[in-house]
Amino acid sequence: MATTTFPTRDDFAALLNQSLGGENETFEGKVVKGTVTAIENDMAVIDVGLKSEGRVPLREFAAPGQKAELSVGDEVEVFVDRVENSAGEAMLSRDRARREAAWDKLEGEFSAGNRVEGVIFGRVKGGFTVDLGGAVAFLPGSQVDIRPVRDVQPLMDLPQPFQILKMDRRRGNIVVSRRAILEETRAEQRSGLIQSLAEGQVIEGVVKNITDYGAFVDLGGIDGLLHVTDISYKRVNHPSEVLNIGDTVKVQIIRINRETQRISLGMKQLESDPWEGAGAKYPVGGVFRGRVTNITEYGAFVELEAGIEGLVHVSEMSWTKKNVHPGKIVSTSQEVDVKVLEVDEEKRRISLGLKQAQENPWAGFAEKHPVGSTVEGEVKNATEFGLFIGLEGDVDGMVHMSDIAWGVSGEEALQLHRKGETVKAQVLDVDVEKERISLGMKQLEGAGSGASTGGASAAGGVKKGDTVTITVRAVQDAGLDVQVGDDGATGFVKRTDLGRDRDEQRPERFQPGQKFDALVIGFDRSKKPNFSVKALQIAEEKQAVAQYGSSDSGASLGDILGQALKEKAEASAKAEKKSKK
């Protein structure tokens, strides 16, 4: 008779563990397969072979922006967080399962440098969130597109490729880029397009962007630079003067750098070159009319025709205006006549002269005013060596200080005239080449007769230092209006020059027609002589002391002057007696 053995408690535990596939604890933290046994209130009841079933929200089975498609009996993978919670149920998670599976897959793709597919489903600070098949990644705003994107809405909830830039499983961080994919695709397209292009080829493109130095033209997937100097042969200060964003333009490929994938374009190359035959069209010495296009500190650019400009250097702008900014002589857009001075077709340069197209004022002055003629002008400036006189034709003539007046020193002659005064002068010399005109003012007064002064005398035949007899013409409060002799030079005696003593300095003690001796002490601005009785008295006194007295003679000043006056009277009497005989 067989003996029946009943299982013990330990045997029952072993059988249970065997039916579960091992210890319960081995399930925790792992992804296992389960079966959907029921769907209740947006929750899926899943049996994974544990003591109890677990519940998972249906939303965890749906892709971002979509509804979950799940039915009873479906087999799914879930993550076992805990075998049993306080309610006696298994804690399961579909998201964790997908995330773990996704991380395993993404690590492999990241190591291989492959692209991954994801969906942008949310916006966060600094960027967006991307679902990579269960793992959530961060997409920085700068990595969305090649250029800044204002509206990202059309890109959301749309499966598209991304490049993983960084992964940290321990911290759960993934950073991806959509821009890297676009740049790689663009580079491939550019490379293929560049291979199909050739230098010299004419192609149409669309103006994509305009800068100060040129415009970028889209050639159908690749941009080329149209530099401002290659837009037109004529001067273009800014590309916006000719082009607008969105314009379709025909351009020629000038250069292609296949290494850097840079393309240089040109528009003017499709036009005829105006510089061809410019030397024959604009011969040296020819005078042409042009328009001022640009003004600089060193000159002005004049356009002779569209595409041909010449430079008028500042030194060739005016005969008379020296060291003046060109902007004070011409203005932009002004039409002027210029003379061609030099042409260099190879360097595309034309030197022009503005003043050469006008009459040389120095030559014109020499023709109208030969040497010896009289001219009139305004004193423009006085220097230490002479006066500059403004003359006809906006030229200046110089009167050297030695040619201002007779009988006075150059320094004194300069004091006779002031700036702004109108004077007359004689033309002494004209040097057209050196642009100099020499004038003389004293030459209009004639030569003096004083032999002691080398023949130079002042107006009216008197010179400084002469003792003359003058006749009172009129009595004024300030002095006397006098004349040398009866018909000589007219001049003036100041009140203070009528005598040494105060009583003698009274003009009212003189009468018109009265005659007396005086000393010529200088000339006024109109070259009229000034006389002084006081200066004559002082001079006579010095002469008497030197002739009749000495420091040890013991004679008084009265005795000395008395003796001098006595001899003077005797000399006068002898001269009068001799004249009567």
Give the contacts of 401 (CB within 8 A, at least 6 positions apart).
Answer: 385, 386, 387, 410, 411, 413, 414
pLDDT in tens, the chain (581 residues): 445 555 665 565 555 555 544 444 556 656 777 787 887 777 877 777 776 677 777 777 776 666 667 777 777 777 776 666 655 566 676 667 777 777 888 888 898 889 899 999 999 999 999 988 778 899 999 999 988 888 888 888 889 999 999 998 888 899 999 999 888 887 777 777 777 788 888 888 899 899 999 999 988 778 889 999 888 888 888 999 889 998 999 999 899 887 777 889 999 888 888 888 888 888 998 999 999 999 999 999 998 888 888 999 998 888 888 788 999 889 998 999 999 999 988 888 899 999 888 888 888 888 888 888 889 999 988 888 889 998 887 888 999 988 888 767 778 778 878 888 888 889 888 888 888 899 988 888 754 433 333 333 445 677 878 888 899 988 988 889 888 877 778 888 988 889 888 888 899 999 998 989 998 887 766 677 888 888 888 888 887 766 655 544 444 445 545 555 566 556 555 655 554 55
pLDDT the model gives residue 161 = 93
- 103 neighbors 70 (Cβ within 8 angstroms): no
Per 3-state DSSP, the chain is made up of helix, strand and coil in percentages (nearest 5) of 25, 35, 35
pLDDT the model gives residue 542 = 81
CA separation for the pair 369, 447 (Å, rounded):
22
Task: Provide the β-strand partners of residue 4.
Answer: none
Q: Does domain 361-446 have CATH number 2.40.50.140?
A: yes
Give the contacts of 20 (CB within 8 A, at least 6 positions apart).
Answer: 49, 50, 51
Q: In degrees to the nearest 10, what's the CA dihedral of 395, 396, 397, 399?
A: 170
Q: Does domain 22-98 have CATH number 1.10.3720.10?
A: no
Task: Give, in order, the Cα–Cα distances in Å from 357 to each of 17, 162, 209, 289, 395.
Answer: 116, 71, 44, 10, 17
pLDDT the model gives residue 63 = 66
Task: Provide the β-strand partners of residue 520.
Answer: 531
The tokens describing 288, both together, are 């042409």
pLDDT the model gives residue 236 = 85
The DSSP annotation for 510-525 comes to --TT-EEEEEEEEE-T
Of 1.10.10.10, 2.40.50.140, 1.10.1740.10, 3.30.70.580, the CATH number of 459-548 is: 2.40.50.140
CA separation for the pair 407, 446 (Å, rounded):
12
CATH assignment, 113-183: 2.40.50.140
Max Cα–Cα distance, the chain, nearest Å? 215
**Cβ neighbours, 10 Å, residue 312:** 30
Side by side, which strands form the sheet with 31-40?
54-57, 43-47, 31-40, 75-82, 91-93
Q: Using alpha carbons only, give the angle 192, 196, 201 rounded to the nearest 5 degrees.
A: 145
CA separation for the pair 29, 93 (Å, rounded):
11
pLDDT the model gives residue 21 = 47
* pTM for this model (two decimals): 0.43
Task: Provide the β-strand partners of residue 431.
Answer: 436
Q: How many alpha carbons fall within 13 Å on the CB side of residue 122?
A: 10
- 75 neighbors 32 (Cβ within 8 angstroms): no
The number of angstroms, rounded, from the C-alpha of 208 to the middle of its chain's C-alpha atoms is: 29
The tokens describing 269, both together, are 């190359």
> What is the CATH class of 197-270?
mainly beta
pLDDT the model gives residue 128 = 94
Strand pairing report for 349-353 and 308-313: parallel
Q: Using alpha carbons only, give the angle 505, 509, 512 rounded to the nearest 5 degrees.
A: 115
Give CATH 2.40.50.140 domain extents, the chain: 22-98, 113-183, 197-270, 283-357, 361-446, 459-548
The CATH homologous superfamily to which domain 283-357 belongs is Nucleic acid-binding proteins (2.40.50.140)
How would you class 431 by CB atoms within 10 Å of its CB: exposed for 0-12, middle for 13-18, buried for 19 or more?
A: exposed
